[in-house]
Chains A and B, each alone.
Chain A
Amino acid sequence: MRRRTVSVAAATVLLTALAACGSDETTPTLTWYINPDNGGQVELARRCTEAADGAYRIETSLLPREASAQREQLARRLAANDSSIDIISLDPPFIPELAEAGFLAEIPDDVAEAVTENVVQGAIDGATWRDQLVAVPFWANTQLLWYRKSVAQAAGLDPENEPVTWEQLIAAAQSQDKYLGVQGIRAEALTVWINALVASAGGEILDNPEAPADQVQLGLESDAGQAAAQIIEDIARNGLGGPGLANQDENGAMLQFQGDRGSFMVNWPFVWAATLAGVEAGNLDQSLVDDIGWALYPAVAEGEESRPPYGGISLGIGAFSEHTDLAIEAAQCIVTPENQAYYMVTNGNPASNTEAYDDPEVQETFPMADLIRESLEAAAPRPQTPYYNEVSTGLQNTWHPPSSVTPDSSPEDATTLITEVLKGERLL
């Protein structure tokens, strides 16, 4: 009896080994962990598999929807040296944390040079940690100011030709009895907003983002931090963000903007594709689309340039991958300007490579393509620190709900909480 069990087990092991050999000999499979989109990354994986002509095959594996949940899953897997992670679609704020932990494979200098050619500066900065490119820029996102032409006209504003300030928007929404589209939910969207406000006011959330946890200095207790808090206070206290401001995300802001009381909104370009889709489906009226205008992100002070939010996805290479070189090759294939243009047209996610914007289809689908490129050049990344999660959550905890924000207390509260948390003296 025992002998038979042993022989069966041995046969099984042998067969498995043979099977493994068989698949190894044919094509190595690369697993690309992707964030949910409209199927564009799956198509890019297919295209690059085809282009590789048998050198490798790319399979995609879906990450959770929320950026924070993506980070959690990746960090847990990489901490356990998961070798199945070859290529990763990474949200830029989390790149320093994974890079610092040694979870991302090094990108050779020649590759780094090639993949940063013609790429907007914001995307290069976002993929860099300690002066080393640690991820391949893929697509780059930025927020624009979207406005209803009718409301802007009635309020006497011309955002297309004259840069507008938050103060002007607040006054306009008040005089026209409309809502401003901003993101007040206690989530990453709130950090994005705060960071853009602080950066536009000439400040920074962290003075020394590369410092060790217990030496990080915050820059919120400054004129810029107070100016940012003042804007949020003005919007929230006057009810200008709408009744749902405290849990309004990007999608909620868009729905409100499309409604009767929509006026001005800061949001990512996905709203354009989503609104067009709404018209096509018959849920929205064509007159709405005709009434929508776009401009650069609003400034904090008149005469000063705004620093719009920066987002997007860069491709990291798993440090424990068995095919690092193939994965780097595949990442280079994924981010070619043609593929970025395809991705932008079909999925609405702006390219990081400026060449892609010359694509006629991109220009046709996104009438504001040149503005997006301009906004990307001016965009300010969120604090690049391995402790980004603590900084962002600390901000969200102290600056939420928006109606509780004041210039006198909020910057100080955030500074105290985040500093203490980073020193390990407090919970978060």
Chain B
Amino acid sequence: MSTTQAAAGEVSGAAGDGRDGGRVPLSDRARAERRLGWWLAGPAFVVMLLVTAYPILQAFYESLFKYRLTDPDAREFTWLNNYVVVLSDSIWWRAVGVTVLITVITVAVEAVLGFALALVMHRALTTLRPILRTAILIPYAIITVVSAFAWFYAFSIDSGFVNSWFNWLPGISEDTNWFGEFGTSVFVIIASEIWKTTPFISLLLLAGLAQVPEDLQEAAKVDGATWWQRLYKVTIPNMKAAIMVALLFRTLDAFRIFDNVFIMTQGANNTEVVSFLAYRQTISRLEIGLGSAVSVLLFLCVVLISFLFIKLFKVDLASARGER
């Protein structure tokens, strides 16, 4: 089984890259393996189409209607009017702004923290590494809603402990209402997001670190490179693909942030993010058309982010594939 998979992977990898130069006619064996590859991947592909392509198309179709769930008789085809309403509304742009702010800060902080954690794990003694890895992974294993509640209660003004533990810090007192204004609310949202997903990024980076050839490090050491120089000239350039994949995944994830905002502020104090906006139009207001338009726009944002990462930063997903 494992040999088959490896062979199929190789074949499709080679065919997909098209880097081998001229088109060499495939041998019978290669063709049979490619067919097997399709047979093996086919069911998964069909399932993907069913669970992703179908809802996306359905959402796009719904977004062309003025349609309220509790008033189905008034359903009316309005072309792209819902998109005009959304895009000309300051609420949408504010939500986009807040989402971008949260995304940029969380991903930047997580990248630095995650890299530091990955270095610690990488350098840790072999006996210690599994324990360390498990310990670091714990926050990531916690359900987001649960972690959001934990952070919410920790900072809440009536039952939280943060105010009484940290009231020696300037700006924090017993009466600090963390969820009373924009800055502090976003701070808690971002902090809980960072706490929860840094382990994910650090694991991806750890996989990248393991890929940096040890002999390059040693050669640099022999040449008298300091630790910083080795980090900047050897380690990071050699794991660029892993870093970019980690950043891409986290950016896509962070842009779709929902749970923390839903639990902590419900969008109060202008902390509304794009997914929450989509949720409120579709689920709370039951405006299926308008909500679908917001969802489609959110989807397009995510596509745009992936496109920018892949084209602009030249993230090579193929070269990162199979690492670890």
A residues engaging B (CB < 8 A)?
68, 72, 75-76, 79, 97-98, 100-101, 103, 185-187, 243-247, 252, 255-256, 386, 389-390, 393, 400-401, 424-428
Contact = CB atoms under 8 A, between A and B. Distances in A.
A244 B158 contact: yes
Interface stretch (B12-20, B38-46, B280-288): B280-288
B70 interface: yes
Interface in B63-89: 66, 69-72, 85-86, 89
5 contacts: A243-B177, A246-B268, A390-B285, A401-B269, A426-B89
Interface of B: 66, 69-72, 85-86, 89, 91-92, 156-158, 175-177, 179-181, 266-269, 277, 280-281, 283-286, 290, 294
Contacts of A72: 283-284, 286
A256 B159 CA distance: 12
B177 A246 contact: yes
A246 B70 contact: no
A426 B85 contact: yes
Contacts, number: 86
Nearest to A252: B158
B281 A75 contact: no
Contact of A246 (B180, B266, B281, B283): B180
B158 A255 contact: yes
Contact of B180 (A75, A244, A256, A427): A244
B85 A244 contact: no
Given A243-B180, A246-B269, 18 more contacts: A72-B284, A75-B69, A97-B70, A100-B71, A101-B72, A243-B157, A243-B176, A244-B157, A244-B158, A255-B158, A389-B284, A389-B286, A390-B285, A393-B285, A401-B269, A427-B91, A428-B91, A428-B285
Contacts of B72: 79, 101
A65 to B, nearest CB: 13
Contacts of A252: 158
A348 B107 CA distance: 49
B284 A68 contact: yes
B89 A79 contact: no
Contacts of A256: 158
A47 B158 CA distance: 39
A427 B86 contact: yes
B73 to A, nearest CB: 9
Nearest to B176: A243
Contacts of B157: 243-244, 247
A427 B268 contact: no
Contact of A401 (B89, B181, B283): B181
A186 B266 contact: yes
B132 to A, nearest CB: 38
A324 B181 CA distance: 49
Contacts of B269: 246, 401
Nearest to B182: A401
Contacts of A79: 69-70, 72, 286
Nearest to B289: A424
Contact of A98 (B70, B179, B280, B294): B70
A424 B74 CA distance: 13
A72 B280 CA distance: 11
B85 A424 contact: yes
Given A72-B284, A389-B285, A247 B89 contact: no
Contacts of B91: 426-428
A393 B287 CA distance: 14
Given A97-B70, A100-B70, A427 B177 contact: no
10 nearest interchain CB pairs? A243-B175, A244-B157, A186-B268, A101-B70, A246-B180, A427-B91, A79-B69, A427-B89, A247-B179, A243-B177
Contacts of A389: 284-286
A75 B286 contact: yes
Contacts of B89: 426-427
A101 B179 CA distance: 37
Nearest to A251: B158
B255 to A, nearest CB: 19
Nearest to B294: A427
Contacts of B175: 243
A247 B85 contact: no
Contact of A424 (B66, B156, B284, B294): B66
A346 B33 CA distance: 72
A76 B283 CA distance: 9
B180 A401 contact: yes
B70 A247 contact: no
Contacts of A68: 284
Contacts of B69: 75-76, 79
A256 B157 CA distance: 11
Given A79-B72, A101-B71, A247 B66 contact: no
A247 B177 contact: yes
B171 to A, nearest CB: 14
B78 to A, nearest CB: 9
